[in-house]
Structure 1
Amino acid sequence: MSSSIHRGWVLTHKWSSLICTVFLLVICATGLPLVFSEQIHDWLEPHTYVQLPAGTPNASLDELASSARALYPQEVVTSIFVDDDEPQAYVWMAPSFETAKRDPKSGHFVRFDTRTAQVLEQSKPIGQRPLGFMDWMLRLHMDLFADLAGELFLGAMAALFVAAIVSGVVLYGPFMRKLDFGTVRSGRSRRLKWLDLHNLLGAVTLAWAFVVGATGLMNELSTPLFAVWQRTDVKALLQSYRNEPMPPQAGLSSVQAAYDTARRAAPGTTFTGITYPGAEGGSPYHYLLWGHGSSTLTSRLFTPVLVDARSGALTAVVKMPWYLRVLEVSRPLHFGDYGGLPLKIIWALLDLITIVVLCSGLYLWFARRRTRAGRLERLVTARVSR
């Protein structure tokens, strides 16, 4: 490697690392509890249910939606979430679809026991609910409380992190030619010892850091990627409906029938989300149902199904574009959701090591600046004394 190319890689590693380090420390610190989000949520908000015989059938989704509308007759149902882990369903409501689009925090939910249709909880509008600990961690991790601008900014920081990793790999090879792998020169200066530790820990976490950085970049692009999909594929799919009015909620076909239609159209798929016509992210004319598979991989790959909200007929089983498939796979990989609690623990340990790498990088930069300042001061003193 020529000296000019080597200097270019050094500058790339130096500035890409320095620019993103503070924000990466925030991401790593907030990501640590998010890795165990399910366990922490179950601990902070435990749910209890009445004991019923195994195989007790679920109540109709129409009954749940009707009960929610009876509680809030002036509002509309925007979506239903059917939990596939616990016997509960959330019916989300808003004052109107226009209000929900203008102010997403105006929505609230009614939580039901899916077996008995009993109301378990009625939430306040999102904007009136105080943020809990995990809400703070998630918002800081996702967008620094800056919405889309924050997502794009953190996406840029993730891209710089990936650049720092790649440039670090390029520089690590020549650096280690004179040393055995894992050597830490503890008998020399403190800065040299931390340089060796920084390089060693960076090499140990290399693959994990690259995967987490790349998947983090994909996650931060989720909003614009879904917007592209809606403006292209979904818009083309709904082209034949463009001149038809949106059906009123009182005139919609059975949501339970739409749920059953989707299950028949996609066998082996577990449907959990149902977006009503007119709601943000859905179709003005259809129930949009989201389902996932049962295997380790397909459980993270979602299949959307459109069911005509007036006739109840199947419109389409939508094929997701490749970039959204990549996004779906990257989300659980980012938080170590593929292998249960053991993998989460490994993810947490690697996260802690990465925090050490980031902090040691900052220390090395400041220590080098102090060393240079000390040399300059000694040089000036020597010239003055002459």
Structure 2
Amino acid sequence: MSLRAWSRLHTWTSLVCTVFLLLLCLTGLPLIFHHEIGHLTGAEVEAPVMPPGTPMADLDRVVAAARAQRPGEVVQYLIWEEDDPAILYLSMAPTPISPPQELRTVVIDARTALVLDEPRDEGFMYWMLRLHTDLFAGIPGKLFLGAMGLLFVLATVSGAVLYGPFARHGEFGTVRSGRSGRLRWLDLHNILGIVTLSWVLVVGATGVVNTLAEQVLAVWRADQLAEMVEPWRGQPPVAEPGSVQAAVAAARDAAPDRKPFFVAWPQTMFSSGHHYAVFLRGDTPLTHRLLTPALVDAETGRLTDLRAPPWYVTALLVSQPLHFGDYGGMALKIAWAVLDLVTIVVLGSGLWLWWRRRRGAAA
């Protein structure tokens, strides 16, 4: 491609996606620190202080407490709090096949089986998350933002290509002084774009992958999960699932080096009509993000299958924490925030430069 073609590609891909990318950068900034903001505002539920080594309650007691809190509803998912295993989140719904928008969360102390809270989807962080993930438009909104992410990656790559000839004829990172304000901003726009190039490509690509979560789940259900539950094809779903405590114990016995992260009940999106799906994770920074599904017969409590997820699920699981810098502690979160702010400057200056050029051309 000629430099003229690269210039047109950079201009139009940038113009189409920049407004939406500015929105994503602005909403993504508080999401980097969502745990810390939750603790400061009191939105994060904290378990009561108890002596170290306090034993965990039987999970069947926990489920019974959640069902007593919301009579007439069933549990779809049980999730361990990532930073505090003493807190359990139970997703309740009218039926096992109710859609995600009908789920309600009950927070329970894993040691006492007492209900701690029943949070609602509201508040500043909820609005930021919905705007960042789907613009309150569900799957179409996610796919639209994924398309904007692809355009952003193309704009970034084409910008790097265009900066190459300029860098060869002068010193790398030169900001020309004594010239017009537009030229200074152009140089600043270019150098900040090059400095953040690798980060932008990583965050942009992982963001695109994250928008495909529902599609990845659908492929996994039709591929690996269908193969794992083939012997039960055509059989009616389990009417009354058995002990979830026994299911988790069977999964942990099969993979003693891993810990449970969440349990999906029969008939939900992450399981079949006959199984509990217990998703296990490791203790290292990498394996902590990689989930291994273990299927347990919901009637007998017997493990029926356990296998590593396929590559496309692994790509999704790795992309999620990498997108928000949520795997390296506070230092990495601060670095992510700084780079996010620099990207906002790059996007804003790009719009201003285009407007100045159009105004100059008209004059």
Query: Which of 280, 301, 304 does residue 315 from structure 1 map onto?
Result: 304
> What letter corresponds to residue 239 of structure 2 in structure 1?
P
Give the conservation status (yes or no) of the 8 Å contact 2:196–2:343.
yes
Whether the 8 Å contact between 1:306 and 1:318 is mirrored in structure 2 is no
For residue 84 of structure 1, report the CA deviation from its aligned partner: 4.4
2:252/2:258 contact within 8 Å kept: yes
What's the CA shift string for 1:220-267, capped at 9, x where partnerless? 111111111111221222221112111112xx2211011111111112
Residue 270 (structure 1) aligns with: 259
CA contact (8 A) 2:143 2:212 kept: yes
Q: Give the match for residue 112 of structure 1.
A: 108
Aligned counterpart for 1:18 among listed residues 15, 18, 38: 15
Secondary structure of 1:368's aligned partner: helix
Determine helix, strand or coil for the equivalent of 1:182: coil
Q: Which of residues 334, 339, 350 in structure 2 aligns to 1:350?
A: 339
Moved more, 199-208 or 38-47: 38-47
Q: Of Structure 1 and Structure 2, which has the larger fraction of its residues in helix?
A: 1
Q: What residue number does 1:364 align with?
A: 353
1:221 aligns with 2:230: no
Query: Residue 121 of structure 1 aligns with which residue?
Result: 117
Q: Deviations over 1:108-165 (max 9, x none)?
A: 2322111111221235xxxxx4521111111111111111111111111111111111
**Structure 1, unaligned runs of 5 or more:** 124-128, 375-386
How far apart, in 1, do the equivalents of 2:319 and 2:162 lie?
A: 28
C-alpha contact 1:82 1:88 (8 A) present in aligned 2: yes
Name 2:192's counterpart in structure 1. Answer: 201
Please give the per-residue CA displacement for 1:331-385, whole angstroms capped at 9, x wherever unaligned: 11111112100110011000000000001111111111111111xxxxxxxxxxx
Instruction: Decide which of 74, 79, 85 is 2:77's aligned counterpart.
Output: 79
Q: Which of 224, 232, 238 does residue 223 from structure 2 map onto?
A: 232
Taking the aligned partners of 2:10 and 2:144, their CA distance within structure 1 comes to: 19
Q: How much does 1:91 deviate? A: 2.3
Point out the more displaced range, 216-225 or 82-91. 82-91
Structure 1 residues 139 and 242, CA gap change in structure 2 (3 angstroms): same
- Which residue number corresponds to residue 168 of structure 2? 177
Equivalence map 1:97-176=2 (5 Å): 97-98=96-97, 100-101=98-99, 104-123=100-119, 129=120, 131-176=122-167
Aligned-partner SS, 1:298: coil
CA distance in 2, matches of 1:91, 1:371: 59
State the alpha-carbon separation in 2 of the partners of residues 326 and 137 from structure 1: 25
Distance 1:300 1:343 in 2: 17
Percent of aligned pairs with the same amino acid: 51
CA distance in 1, matches of 2:47, 2:220: 39
Alignment correspondent of 2:37: 40
Distance 1:215 1:71, change over 3 A: closer
Query: 1:266-345 residue pairs with structure 2 within 5 A?
Result: 266-345=255-334
Q: Deviations over 1:41-86 (max 9, x none)?
A: 1222254443322111100001111222234442212121122422
**Alignment coverage as a number of residue pairs:** 361
Change (3 A) 1:329 1:130: closer
- Aligned: 1:66 with 2:64: yes
Aligned to 1:259: 248
Deviation string 1:317-341 (CA, Å, 9 cap, x unpaired) is 1321111111111111111112100
Q: Report the CA distance shift for 1:71/1:322 in structure 2 as closer, same or farther (over 3 A).
A: same
The CA distance in 2 between the partners of 1:84 and 1:353, in whole Å, is 30
Secondary structure of the residue that 1:78 maps to in structure 2? strand
Which residue type is aligned with residue 94 of structure 2?
P
Name 1:7's counterpart in structure 2: 4
Contact 2:45 2:117 in 1 (8 A): no
3-state SS, counterpart of residue 97 of structure 1: coil
Deviations 1:243-296 (A, max 9, x none): 2111112xx221101111111111221212111112233211100111211101
Give the structure-1-normalised TM-score: 0.90
CA offset digits 1:183-228 (Å, max 9, x no partner): 1112101111111000110111111111111111111111111111
CA distance in 1, matches of 2:190, 2:66: 58
Q: Residues 362 and 122 of structure 1: is their aligned pair in 2 closer, same or farther, counting only changes over 3 Å?
A: closer
Query: Which AA in structure 2 matches 1:164?
Result: A
- Provide closer, same or farther for how the CA distance between residues 122 and 336 of structure 1 changes in structure 2, counting only shifts above 3 A: closer
CA distance in 2 between partners of 1:91 and 1:245 (Å): 25
Instruction: Give the partner amino acid of 1:140.
Output: L
Counterpart of 1:95? 94
The whole-number CA distance in structure 1 between the counterparts of 2:280 and 2:109 is 20
SS at match of 2:278: strand
**1:184 aligned partner, one-letter code:** V
Asked if 1 retains the 8 angstrom alpha-carbon contact of 2:65 and 2:114, the reply is: no
Amino acid at match of 1:257: A
